Amino acid sequence: MGFDLKEFGGPGLTGMEGGVLTYELAKADTSIGTFVLVQNSIGIAVVDLLGSDEQRKNILPDAVALKKILAFGLTEPDYGSDASSLKTSAKKVEGGYVINGKKRWIGNGTMADVIIVWAVNESEGNKI
Protein backbone atom coordinates (compact mmCIF):
# COMPACT_ATOMS: atom_id res chain seq x y z
CA MET A 1 0.00 0.00 0.00
CA GLY A 2 0.99 3.65 -0.13
CA PHE A 3 1.67 3.28 -3.83
CA ASP A 4 3.14 6.73 -4.44
CA LEU A 5 4.89 7.13 -1.09
CA LYS A 6 8.67 6.94 -1.03
CA GLU A 7 8.78 6.97 2.76
CA PHE A 8 7.02 5.03 5.53
CA GLY A 9 7.61 1.79 3.60
CA GLY A 10 5.83 2.86 0.41
CA PRO A 11 7.17 1.62 -2.95
CA GLY A 12 7.19 5.02 -4.67
CA LEU A 13 5.19 3.97 -7.73
CA THR A 14 4.15 6.43 -10.39
CA GLY A 15 0.48 7.31 -10.73
CA MET A 16 0.28 5.15 -13.84
CA GLU A 17 1.83 2.14 -12.09
CA GLY A 18 -0.54 2.45 -9.12
CA GLY A 19 -3.50 2.88 -11.47
CA VAL A 20 -2.60 -0.20 -13.50
CA LEU A 21 -2.14 -2.26 -10.34
CA THR A 22 -5.52 -1.16 -8.97
CA TYR A 23 -7.18 -1.78 -12.36
CA GLU A 24 -5.80 -5.33 -12.54
CA LEU A 25 -6.98 -6.08 -8.99
CA ALA A 26 -10.43 -4.66 -9.77
CA LYS A 27 -10.70 -6.86 -12.88
CA ALA A 28 -10.40 -9.90 -10.63
CA ASP A 29 -12.66 -8.55 -7.85
CA THR A 30 -14.18 -5.08 -7.77
CA SER A 31 -14.44 -5.08 -3.98
CA ILE A 32 -10.67 -5.60 -3.70
CA GLY A 33 -10.13 -2.80 -6.22
CA THR A 34 -12.36 -0.50 -4.17
CA PHE A 35 -10.57 -1.39 -0.94
CA VAL A 36 -7.15 -0.69 -2.48
CA LEU A 37 -8.35 2.57 -4.02
CA VAL A 38 -9.81 3.83 -0.72
CA GLN A 39 -6.78 2.75 1.32
CA ASN A 40 -4.32 4.39 -1.09
CA SER A 41 -5.94 7.23 -2.96
CA ILE A 42 -8.36 8.71 -0.46
CA GLY A 43 -6.84 7.34 2.72
CA ILE A 44 -3.06 7.29 2.70
CA ALA A 45 -2.80 10.14 0.18
CA VAL A 46 -5.05 12.42 2.26
CA VAL A 47 -3.10 11.75 5.47
CA ASP A 48 0.17 12.31 3.59
CA LEU A 49 -0.98 15.59 2.01
CA LEU A 50 -3.11 17.08 4.81
CA GLY A 51 -2.06 15.36 8.03
CA SER A 52 0.25 16.84 10.62
CA ASP A 53 3.74 15.40 10.99
CA GLU A 54 2.52 13.53 14.08
CA GLN A 55 -0.46 12.05 12.20
CA ARG A 56 1.74 11.04 9.28
CA LYS A 57 4.22 9.29 11.62
CA ASN A 58 1.46 7.58 13.64
CA ILE A 59 -0.77 6.48 10.77
CA LEU A 60 1.18 6.02 7.54
CA PRO A 61 3.66 3.23 8.44
CA ASP A 62 0.86 1.00 9.73
CA ALA A 63 -1.49 1.95 6.86
CA VAL A 64 1.17 1.06 4.28
CA ALA A 65 1.77 -2.27 6.08
CA LEU A 66 -2.03 -2.88 6.31
CA LYS A 67 -1.86 -2.90 10.10
CA LYS A 68 -4.31 0.03 10.03
CA ILE A 69 -7.22 0.27 7.62
CA LEU A 70 -8.28 3.76 6.56
CA ALA A 71 -11.80 4.91 5.69
CA PHE A 72 -13.07 8.02 3.97
CA GLY A 73 -16.33 9.72 4.97
CA LEU A 74 -17.36 12.48 2.57
CA THR A 75 -20.75 11.54 1.09
CA GLU A 76 -23.89 12.86 2.82
CA PRO A 77 -27.49 11.68 2.28
CA ASP A 78 -28.83 15.00 0.96
CA TYR A 79 -25.83 16.36 -0.97
CA GLY A 80 -23.86 13.37 -2.18
CA SER A 81 -20.12 13.92 -2.44
CA ASP A 82 -20.31 17.70 -2.94
CA ALA A 83 -17.73 18.90 -0.42
CA SER A 84 -18.88 22.51 -0.83
CA SER A 85 -22.33 21.59 0.55
CA LEU A 86 -21.23 19.70 3.68
CA LYS A 87 -23.67 19.80 6.58
CA THR A 88 -21.64 17.59 8.94
CA SER A 89 -19.87 19.79 11.48
CA ALA A 90 -16.90 19.37 13.78
CA LYS A 91 -16.50 21.41 16.94
CA LYS A 92 -13.21 21.48 18.83
CA VAL A 93 -13.56 20.44 22.46
CA GLU A 94 -11.04 19.45 25.11
CA GLY A 95 -9.37 16.25 23.93
CA GLY A 96 -10.58 16.36 20.33
CA TYR A 97 -13.70 17.15 18.33
CA VAL A 98 -17.44 16.52 18.52
CA ILE A 99 -18.78 15.59 15.09
CA ASN A 100 -22.45 16.03 14.22
CA GLY A 101 -24.04 14.97 10.95
CA LYS A 102 -24.80 12.05 8.68
CA LYS A 103 -22.56 10.20 6.27
CA ARG A 104 -23.31 7.57 3.68
CA TRP A 105 -21.18 5.08 1.75
CA ILE A 106 -18.04 5.35 3.84
CA GLY A 107 -15.41 3.42 1.91
CA ASN A 108 -13.80 0.77 4.19
CA GLY A 109 -15.99 2.05 7.05
CA THR A 110 -16.96 -1.37 8.40
CA MET A 111 -13.36 -2.38 9.07
CA ALA A 112 -11.49 0.89 9.57
CA ASP A 113 -9.05 1.75 12.31
CA VAL A 114 -8.87 5.40 11.17
CA ILE A 115 -11.79 7.26 9.58
CA ILE A 116 -11.18 10.50 7.73
CA VAL A 117 -14.40 12.48 8.19
CA TRP A 118 -15.02 15.53 6.02
CA ALA A 119 -16.87 18.23 7.94
CA VAL A 120 -17.09 21.97 8.36
CA ASN A 121 -15.03 23.14 11.32
CA GLU A 122 -17.17 25.35 13.55
CA SER A 123 -14.06 26.46 15.44
CA GLU A 124 -12.57 27.92 12.26
CA GLY A 125 -15.52 29.71 10.70
CA ASN A 126 -16.94 26.60 9.02
CA LYS A 127 -13.86 25.88 6.91
CA ILE A 128 -13.78 22.37 5.49
Give residue-wise pLDDT tens across range 38-54. 999 889 999 999 999 99
Whether the CB-CB separation of 38 and 107 falls below 8 Å is answered with yes
pLDDT score for 83: 87
* Fold adopted by 1-67: Butyryl-Coa Dehydrogenase, subunit A; domain 1 (1.10.540)
Angstrom CA distances, 127 to 15, 31, 55, 124, stand at: 29, 33, 20, 6
Residue 104: its H or E element = none
Question: pLDDT tens-digit profile of 86-115?
Answer: 999 999 899 988 999 999 989 899 999 999
Domain edges within the chain: 1-67, 69-128
Report pTM. Answer: 0.85
Q: How is domain 69-128 classified at the CATH fold level?
A: Butyryl-CoA Dehydrogenase, subunit A; domain 2 (2.40.110)
Q: Say what the pLDDT of residue 71 is.
A: 95
Condensed to tens digits (0 to 9), the pLDDT of residues 14-26 reads 999 999 999 999 9
Q: Are strands 89-93 and 96-100 parallel, antiparallel or unpaired?
A: antiparallel
